[in-house]
Amino acid sequence: MPPARGLIVAGVLLAAAIVVPATAAQDDRPRRAVNLTLQDEGCPAGPDRFCVQPGNVTLEEGTDLVLRVTNEGRIAHNLTFADETAPSLAEHGMNRTLAADETQRLQIPWPAIEEAGQPNATLECGRDGHAALGEVFTIHVPSLAESDERPQPGFGTLGALAAVSVGAWAARRR
């Protein structure tokens, strides 16, 4: 194959590699729904502790997370992302505080979770001292922990195509 044609083929394959993942992102992603309660009495850790029940969820790759949060405590509580959380994810926390018996639904789309890239993201009550008393919830995303060790698909494809193209071109030059 002449080198110019090889580069064109490589370019077309590269364009396909970029376009396909972008269009594959759709809103019909699988959805994981979890009912959470915010509690300020009767928590497993003791009578003087606060808690979120359950305390964590393990999320599959590509899945939207929907949290239905009910304040079952005696006082007001909320649930926002911890300070160290990436902005893409942090913006999906609660924007108001719930009075006793109030419920709010938080929808956290997978792209925001993936962009944050945190294998463990923490939500906590933002009211003074509540997180320290145990009012925290963790989103575990095992697939994000693994992604550090494997090459990014887009870059891997690009790198392989570039190497092949340069190799073919160099061979022709000799």
Interface residues toward Cu ion, by CB under 5 A: 77, 125, 127, 130, 135
DSSP assignments along 64-107, one per residue: EEEEEEEE-SSS-B--EE-TTS-HHHHTTS-SSPBPTT-EEEEE
The minimum distance between CB 113 and Cu ion, in angstroms, equals 23
> Would you say 80 or 85 has its CB closer to Cu ion?
80
**Min CB(136)–Cu ion separation in Å:** 10
Q: Which residues pair with 121 in a beta bridge?
A: 139
Task: Supply the minimum distance, in Å, between the C-beta of residue 125 and Cu ion.
Answer: 3
Q: Which is nearer to Cu ion, 61 or 72 (CB)?
A: 72
Residue 80: count of CB within 10 angstroms of its CB: 19
- Tell me the closest approach of the beta carbon of residue 39 to Cu ion, in angstroms: 9
SS3 28: coil
Q: Which one, 40 or 64, has the nearer CB to Cu ion?
A: 40
Nearer to Cu ion, 64 or 135 (CB): 135
Residue 15 three-state SS:
helix
Query: How many Å apart are CA 161 and CA 10, to the nearest integer?
Result: 6
Residue whose Cβ sits closest to Cu ion = 125
Residue nearer to Cu ion on the CB measure, 79 or 168 = 79
Q: What is the closest distance, in whole angstroms, from the C-beta atom of residue 130 to Cu ion in the complex?
A: 3
**Contact yes or no for 36/69 (Cβ under 8 A):** yes
CB-CB neighbours of 70 under 10 Å:
17
Residue 141 CA: distances (Å) to CA of 56, 115, 126, 147: 11, 12, 23, 11
